[in-house]
């Protein structure tokens, strides 16, 4: 299998005209999920031989082709058979699923995967910074460990372009750090499966984890490290425009708004930090704050104030997404000071108004507070013996990468003590 890097648009179209069968990966060098996928593609290229080509296209070098292919989320995968798009997929795909799709594209039966074990010492739900760190500590202690994750390894780490508060390192790329921790956990013998958890049951000595796929796994100890999911604005037009102008990841989607006006909603660290990143691409960034209270760190506020491409408007409440040609065209906004309705034209809207914990699958256990966050003790234990929390999913004061890894380490050590 050959990996063809950055053909021109004309060369790509020539491959289509020649009725070739190949996998096209539209990516960006700054995109965290793209970088994670690149490692997967390299492994597949080694294993599948010369049966199919992988064509990697940098969207920054071929913006017109990117728009022509209607790519709004990267990585964007196109499964091309005989010059025609057989199927497409937006986002990260784990190796086993991607390989199965390629075999199907070639007309072959996907390889039969060896069924994973069903019983473990420790099950970790969530493969972000907290979950992967817990896996490293658990495996070092000799625990048979399973990690269940529905997305790419690293969680929100891969959505973070640069981490500037990791002790000892002035700045580190989020996706690189995510991959390094993942590789460390895997090298120690962690079992890692791509599954979305539907329910956690804790009757008797065993904890049973049921997945949406129908798979079930048991262990006497479980660590919940599922993190949080971005909160929606809940205004007309938002839901249907996700991926078509509504985005929750500046690092993933900034290049789609090169030389365009974008709006950020929020007044915290995430909103202000992402505005600085977006300003490197967009012609203008407008931050809308619902009140006149800005909660972002002062150092970040100062950077925003000094950037001529960023403006901050207070007392603005989004009311509706303006849609044109099935894409975001702006926002209708209420000015709470004047009571007037304002129309703000923009090609992208990035809500950063907080997040909600991913705990729907375990709320019946009585281990969450009224907001859904896990209530844990200093050793990360919950009210249910053998069930622990770690990371942003917990009710805590500070949610940072460094605190998530700390939680993961403590949770793993506590689980070890519980088991022995």
- Asked about 34 being catalytic, the answer comes back as no
Active site residue 392: no
Residues 25, 121, 253, 392: which is the catalytic one?
A: 253
Q: Which CA distances in Å does 306 have to 131, 163, 300?
A: 37, 21, 10
On whether the CB atoms of residues 288 and 262 are closer than 8 A, the answer is no
Q: Measure the CA–CA gap between 319 and 324, rounded to whole angstroms.
A: 16
CB 273 within 8 A of CB 300: yes
Catalytic residue (one of 31, 34, 211, 252): 252
3-class SS of residue 415: helix
Which among 340, 332, 276 has a CA at the least distance from the CA of 309? 276
Q: Known catalytic residue: 253?
A: yes
State both tokens at 356. 């909600």
Each residue of 203-217: b (16+ CB within 10 Å) or e? eeeebbbbbeeebeb
For the record, the structure tokens of 124 come out as: 């970790």
Kindly name the residue from 31, 34, 211, 249 that is annotated as catalytic: 249
Q: How far is CA 149 from CA 80, 129, 196, 208, 298, in A?
A: 28, 12, 6, 16, 35
Residues serving a catalytic function are 249, 252-253
């Amino acid at each position: 299998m050959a990996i063809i890097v950055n053909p021109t648009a004309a060369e790509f179209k020539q491959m289509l005209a020649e009725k070739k069968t190949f996998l096209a990966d539209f990516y960006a060098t700054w995109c965290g999920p793209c970088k994670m996928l690149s490692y997967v593609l390299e492994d597949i290229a080694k294993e599948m031989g010369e049966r199919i080509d992988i064509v990697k296209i940098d969207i920054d070098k071929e913006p017109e082709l990117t728009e022509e292919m209607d790519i709004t989320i990267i990585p964007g995968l196109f499964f091309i058979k005989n010059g025609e798009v057989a199927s497409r997929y937006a986002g990260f795909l784990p190796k086993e699923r991607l390989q199965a799709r390629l075999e199907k594209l070639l007309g072959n039966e996907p390889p039969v995967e060896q069924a994973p074990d069903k019983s473990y010492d420790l099950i970790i739900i969530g493969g972000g910074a907290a979950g992967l760190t817990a896996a490293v500590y658990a495996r070092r202690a000799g625990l048979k460990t399973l990690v269940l994750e529905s997305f790419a390894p690293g969680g929100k780490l891969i959505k973070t372009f640069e981490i500037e508060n990791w002790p000892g390192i002035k700045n580190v790329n989020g996706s690189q750090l995510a991959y390094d921790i993942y590789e460390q956990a895997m090298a120690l013998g962690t079992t890692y499966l791509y599954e979305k958890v539907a329910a956690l049951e804790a009757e008797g000595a065993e904890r049973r984890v049921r997945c949406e796929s129908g798979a079930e796994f048991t262990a006497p100890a479980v660590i919940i490290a599922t993190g949080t999911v971005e909160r929606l604005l809940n205004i007309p037009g938002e839901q249907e425009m996700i991926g078509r102008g509504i985005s929750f990841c500046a690092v993933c989607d900034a290049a789609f708004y090169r030389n365009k006006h974008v709006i950020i909603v929020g007044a915290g660290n995430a909103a202000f930090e992402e505005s600085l990143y977006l300003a490197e691409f967009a012609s203008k960034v407008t931050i809308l704050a619902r009140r006149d209270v800005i909660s972002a760190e002062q150092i970040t506020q100062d950077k925003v104030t000094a950037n001529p491409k960023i403006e901050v408007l207070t007392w603005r409440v989004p009311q509706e997404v303006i849609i044109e040609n099935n894409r975001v065209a702006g926002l209708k906004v209420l000015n709470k000071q004047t009571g007037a309705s304002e129309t703000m034209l923009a090609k992208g809207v990035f809500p950063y108004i907080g997040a909600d914990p991913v705990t729907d699958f375990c709320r019946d256990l009585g281990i969450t507070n009224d907001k859904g966050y896990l209530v844990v003790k200093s050793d990360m234990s919950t009210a249910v013996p053998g069930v622990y929390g770690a990371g942003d999913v917990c009710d805590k004061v500070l949610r940072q990468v460094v605190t998530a890894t700390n939680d993961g380490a403590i949770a793993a050590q506590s689980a070890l003590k519980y088991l022995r």
